[in-house]
């Protein structure tokens, strides 16, 4: 009987010790690489990285960028000392009046509003419709904006999903915001974009652009 008790005790001890090892094995490893997004315009290039804390927005943006969806779209709304907005497929057509409205059948993304992701200068966030028609604060599936104000736009914190950060080319964002605009803050001259994605080591991104992970 004593031998059986000792065997049971020993087995229990082995299983107890094994649990942390199994849990440790399941812990996801952090990638040493990241996706660098480059938005090219006639005024220069803007480079940004996307947050892993907003996986839905990150995956959606990367998918659209890789597919060429954004190529030919414009920054259709620019407000100096505030932000520049783009990514609407409507901006590809010849009708400037529908820019920013998005396709009628456009899907939306669930909000991923995180307190640690704020509207600092260069923050990349998802556009959306107003609270009265969108109480869940779901995001546009394609339209985004970049904070241009040097002091940021903290009054938007907690209201829109911030999912990325400019790491190079903020001066280009400034140039875009300074363009003469007409009704609905639409630039009088189209500012078209081409977007590409490349995978780089995080160490290289830090070395080249000074971004700290």
| Predicted local distance difference test score (pLDDT) of residue 28 | 62
pLDDT of residue 115: 97
Tokens of 71: 């190529």
Tell me the helices (H) and strands (E) count for the chain, helix number first.
4, 10
pLDDT bin (cut points 50, 70, 90) of residue 12 is very low
Q: Which residue has the tokens 């090219």?
A: 40
Whole-prediction pTM value? 0.86
- pLDDT of 166 > 90? The answer is yes
Bridge partners (DSSP) of residue 139 are 109
According to CATH, what is the number of the domain 33-93+107-209?
2.40.100.10
pLDDT range class, residue 26, cuts 50, 70, 90: low
Does residue 108 contact residue 140 with C-beta atoms inside 8 Å? Answer: yes
CB within 8 A of 10, min separation 6: which ones?
none
User: What secondary structure letter does DSSP report for 89?
Assistant: G
pLDDT single digits (tens) 171-194 = 999 999 999 999 999 999 999 999
Band of pLDDT at residue 30, cut at 50, 70 and 90:
confident
């Amino acid at each position: 009987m004593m031998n059986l008790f000792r065997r049971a005790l020993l087995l229990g001890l082995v299983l107890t010790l094994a649990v942390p090892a199994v849990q440790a094995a399941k812990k996801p490893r952090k990638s040493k690489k990241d996706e660098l997004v480059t938005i090219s315009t006639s005024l220069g290039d803007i480079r940004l990285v996307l947050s892993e804390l907003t996986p839905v927005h990150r995956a959606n943006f990367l998918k659209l960028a890789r597919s060429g969806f954004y190529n030919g779209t414009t920054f259709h709304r620019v407000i100096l000392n505030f932000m520049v907005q783009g990514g609407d497929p409507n901006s590809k057509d010849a009708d400037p009046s529908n820019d920013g409205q998005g396709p009628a059948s456009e899907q939306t993304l669930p909000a991923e509003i995180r307190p640690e992701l704020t509207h600092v200068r260069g923050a990349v966030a998802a556009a959306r419709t107003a609270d009265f028609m969108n109480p869940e604060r779901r995001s546009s599936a394609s339209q985004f904006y970049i904070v241009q104000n040097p002091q940021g736009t903290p009054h938007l914190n907690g209201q829109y999903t911030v999912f990325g950060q400019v790491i190079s080319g903020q001066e280009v964002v400034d140039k875009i915001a300074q363009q003469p605009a007409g009704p609905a803050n639409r630039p009088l001259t189209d500012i078209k974009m081409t977007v590409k994605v490349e995978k780089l080591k995080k160490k290289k991104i830090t070395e080249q652009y000074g971004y700290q992970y």
